[in-house]
Amino acid sequence: MRDYRSQLWDAVVIGAGPAGATAARRLSDAGASTLLLERQSLPRYKACGGGVPARTVQLLGGLDLSSVSEGRVDTIDISRFGRHQFRKTSKKPLAWMVMRDRFDQFLTDMALAAGAMIEDAAPVQSVVAGSGLYELETERGRVRARHILAADGATGPTARWLGIAAAPTRSAAYEVEVAAPTAALEHWRRAANVDVGYRPWGYGWVFPKDGKLSVGVVAAPKHGRSIRKQTDRYLSRLGLADARLINVQGHPIRYRRSNDEPVARDRALLLGDAAGLADEFTAEGIAYAVHSANLATDALLRSDDPAAAYRDAVNTWIQPELDAARTISRLYYWCVTSWPWLALKTSKHINYLWSAFFRVMRGDSTYADELSRLPGHQLAQRAVA
């Protein structure tokens, strides 16, 4: 096996999540020497609801996820503080359910097959920009690279080391995996629960997995202190208070809110959660992580100024979605908390709203396109801004 410390790499990718693994695969496919560093031993558990929107498959070039899928969801069940309101079903699957250790390992194995070198249990301790290259200190020695793609998550230190002040706005998510009884597993088969009514915004979720349920709550920025109690109450309303807990984890979510928030500097690019690329309607980040990996590799391979090319691409293709999702989020959650009976009754009977959401999840449309079709959308966007 070659010593990864002995050469100058075209790119070092930090973090073997969907963004990092996808970037490493695409760079290696293009012939770039690529080292993927992961601080934990692989495969590793990742706190995440594990819902992969169907549109992500398109961004992954049509990869078959069936080998790592825990099932698919085509139905959304809406409740308010645990009380059922209605269900809506899509004609096509909306999302794949995955466990992140298996899903991320699947993508990492593809990067390895493409020619990337993978080094796990190798936390990066510092990054210093030199003349035409970067030097990274790891527990196993120094690594040199022409480019860095940082995919080390919402709390990763790489952005700070490189002086990239990325996405300061955060919310909190808290997730538990429970060994649910058979009746609960059957009830949620192919269906995800979205529980609304949380102030000022946020929601609870149930995602069905193989033999278990992923249950959690997303809370608005600065409202994370009560999230564990909210989750416990949610479990109780679901009738799962006594279910055996398999795993419990909380984590922050970053949100990039303007074109001016940096995502790159020189030859270092931030991907996925490290750049705050999650939307404020669903708090979903996997699709944006993969999309950012695609944009970053294109910028690195095709431009003499990858930071500028990547920033422009993110501002063109991803930021409009984040802005539109934030507007939709504020409108929806404001209505649900201010006039819950009217808002839920309206959304139950106006199928266009759900058809639009389903189109976005499947990749047939975008948040920005759907928002532009709503009467008064420009006024709504100004109000949110």
Report which residue type is found at 144: R
354 is written with which tokens?
A: 């759900």
Question: Could you give the C-alpha distances from 47 to 17, 39, 253, 261, in angstroms and in order?
Answer: 11, 15, 11, 26
277 is written with which tokens?
A: 């690329």
DSSP 8-state class, residue 162: T
**Residue range 98-123: mean pLDDT, rounded:** 96
Per residue in 263-317, pLDDT (tens digit) is 999 999 999 999 999 999 999 999 999 999 999 999 999 999 999 999 999 999 9
Q: Name the 3-class secondary structure at 111.
A: helix
- Looking at the chain, list the stretches that DSSP marks H as alpha helix, in order from N- to C-terminal side: 18-29, 55-59, 100-114, 158-161, 182-187, 227-237, 286-302, 306-317, 319-338, 340-349, 351-362, 367-372, 377-384
Domain boundaries, the chain: 62-98+170-253
pLDDT of residue 382: 58
Per residue in 207-260, pLDDT (tens digit) is 999 999 999 999 988 777 889 999 999 999 999 999 999 999 998 999 999 999
Say what the pTM is.
0.94
pLDDT band, very low/low/confident/very high, at 378 (cuts 50, 70, 90): low
SS3 breakdown of the chain: % helix, strand, coil, rounded to 5?
40, 30, 35
Q: Quickly tell me which residue has 């308010």 as its tokens.
A: 80
DSSP 8-state class, residue 5: G
Query: What is the rounded average pLDDT for all residues in the chain?
Result: 92
Per residue in 188-204, pLDDT (tens digit) is 999 999 999 998 889 99
List CB contacts of 147: < 8 A, sequence separation 6 or more: 10, 11, 12, 134, 267, 268, 269, 300, 306
Residue range 62-98+170-253 forms a domain whose CATH class is alpha beta
* pLDDT: which is higher, 199 or 8: 8
